[in-house]
Every structure is written in C-alpha cells, then in structure tokens.
Amino acid sequence: MKWKVTDIDTYQQAKEYVDTAVIPLIPLQWGKSEKETITMGEFTEYITDRIENQFTGRVFLMPPFTYLKTESSEEKLRRLMEWDAHLFQQGFKYVFYVTSDVAWKSLDKKLPDELIWIPAISSETMNSDQLKKTVEQQTSQIMPLFTGKWQTEPNNRDE
Amino acid sequence: MSEKKHRVSRRQFLTYTLTGVGGFMAAGMLSPMVRMALDPALEATGDSEFVSVGLGEDELTDEPQIVNFQLEIEDAWYTSEQPRSAWIYKDGDEIIALSPICTHLGCTVNWDSNEDYPEQFFCPCHFGRFERDGTNVAGTPPTRPLDVYDVEVRDGMIYLGQINQRS
C-alpha cells in the first residue's frame, strides 16, 4: 500500500495483515555532485515502488525520510529512530529502511531493524525497458530479505 | 388532365419553395440532435482492446509462465502505459491467462515457488494459495479465485483483453 488516500481505506479494513513498513532514505545535497545524489534518490524510489507492487498486501510504503547530506550521523539516526518507534508502536512490527546512500551502511548496527542498501544504477543511459528490467532484477534479489524476515520474530525495540 | 390545369400559381410556387427550404433547414438542425441522442447507443460497448503480449501460441506449454505487457490507460486527458502481467498456459486446447494479483490484498503470486506447495500459485505475503486453474485453496486467506484475462489468438500470437472477476 502506498501513502495515498485511496490506500488508507484498504489499510483500515485489513490492518492486521499489514505489518511491514518500508521507509526510503533519500539524501539532499545542492552545489556539489547533485547528479549522484539525485540518482540515489531516484533509484531508491524505483526499488521501493517495485517492492510495494510485489508485496502490496503486507507492506506499507511510507513517504521518504529525507535529510541533508551534511546532517550528522547522530542526528539522522535519532530522527529515523523516532520514525521507527512511532511506526512500531502503531503496529508495524517490521520496518525496512531502503537506501542507495552508502553513509547508512556504517550505521547499520545501530538501527533497530533491517537496512537494505542497494548501489544506485543511473537510469540516464537506459531506455525504459532496460530500466524496468534492472529494477525488477534488483528487487527480486532483495525480496527474499522480506520473506525471510517474516519467518522470524520481529525485533524488540527496547527504549 | 389538361396542360392548363397544371399551371402553378404564384401562391402555390411560394408554398412549395418555402416548405422545401424550411424542411431542408429543419432537417439540417434536427439531424445533429438525433445523432447526438443516438450516439451513446451506437458506440461500441465493453469491447476493450486486446493487447499483444509478444508471445506465440506455439511457445505455450501446460506449465504457467509469466508474461509482462503494457496497457494504455486513459485517465481523463492523461494517457499512461501501465505494466501488467499474466500467468499464461495451455489447458488442452484452451489458453488460460490468470492475473497474478492475489485476491486477498493484492500481492503478486508466483507459480510453484514454495517447496511445500508445488504446482500451486503461492502468495508470499500471507501464504494464500491457488490451484493451477486459479481456484483459491480453502483455508488460506483469499476468498475468490484469481481473475482471468480474455484471450484471443491472432495469426498465432497471443492477445489479452479485459480482466474478469470470478466468484
């Protein structure tokens, strides 16, 4: 399900089935390597869209968590954990953070739930068919992370 | 009847011409109205377009395979191409094309993807299952069979039409 008014009605009727939140982590930076930063964000959105498409009935795709590239790790982490705690309390037992920004990789251990980092592939030189294929392939590789996670107990968030 | 009696008087001439011209004008005004009124009835109904999936009939087996195709969706003034998929296979002489959308909450189902349930469509979200013909397996979350596409074969190529719900 998506962050859309039409989907929230479906959600409310099927709440107990939707236990997974996906948060795209998307950086913002201007004045220096905008292109790479945009590529990251764009690719993350393609991937999360595709995940949502495959797992519509169990996954809720949240609006992106955005941050300045210059924001400190501690601050980013603190804010994201607030999102996570909020969603967890509201019944999302599994939370996935999806990003192409490698900066999150070093914070992996500190995150309360699953981080998925996929290197961004620029869509610049691809036609729409190739792009679709690439996104499909990449997504099919990370889909087992979801199905696998669902077999396990949700992580505890101890405050 | 003599020639004399056939002479057209001025009054008659005017009546004829006025009726003729008047009738012509009335027809000119009425015919678009009649056309407009009848138009919705004349329009082809429910005959949604068939889309090629780029697969030949001879490429089909009795094993369901996934095909992806684009469907043009017209939403008011905005036309967009939307991706669609179908699980397609041959059942004897009949071609079956099933929608891969789980009828429970809309996840995408896969054929024969779970070791525990071979030869079934399996939904990874809440373990919904469907038989080969799309019938939902009792005791799993879905409450109706997978939707089916209308299928047409033109020059040996597969075309899919509208999606039909089954109950």
Residue A153 lies in a domain: no
Residue A27 lies in a domain: yes
Residue A143 lies in a domain: no
Could you read off the pLDDT tens digit of each residue along chain A, which spans 159 residues?
999 999 999 899 888 999 999 999 999 999 988 999 999 999 999 999 999 999 999 999 999 999 999 999 999 999 999 999 999 999 999 999 999 999 999 999 999 999 999 999 888 888 888 998 899 999 999 999 999 999 999 988 865
ipTM: 0.81
Query: Cβ A56–B106 below 8 Å, yes or no?
Result: yes
Give the whole-angstrom CA distance, residue A14 versus residue A3. Answer: 15
CB pairs < 8 Å spanning A and B: 38
Residue A155 lies in a domain: no
Instruction: Please give the tally of structural domains in chain A.
Output: 1
Helix A34-54, helix A128-151: angle, nearest 10: 60
Give the whole-angstrom CA distance, residue B162 versus residue A149. Answer: 36
**CATH number of the domain at B51-164, out of 2.102.10.10, 1.10.490.10, 3.30.70.2700, 3.40.50.300?**
2.102.10.10
Closest CA to A90 of A2, A11, A26, A28: A11
Residue ranges of the domains in chain B? 4-42, 51-164
Residue A159 lies in a domain: no
**A54 touches B: beta carbon within 8 Å:** yes
SS3 B80: strand
- Here the CATH number for the domain that contains residue A133 is 3.40.50
SS3 B19: helix
Query: Which domain does A29 fall in, by range?
Result: 5-138
Residue A150 lies in a domain: no
Gap from A72 CA to chain B (nearest CA, Å): 36
Residues 6+ apart with CB under 8 A from A5: none
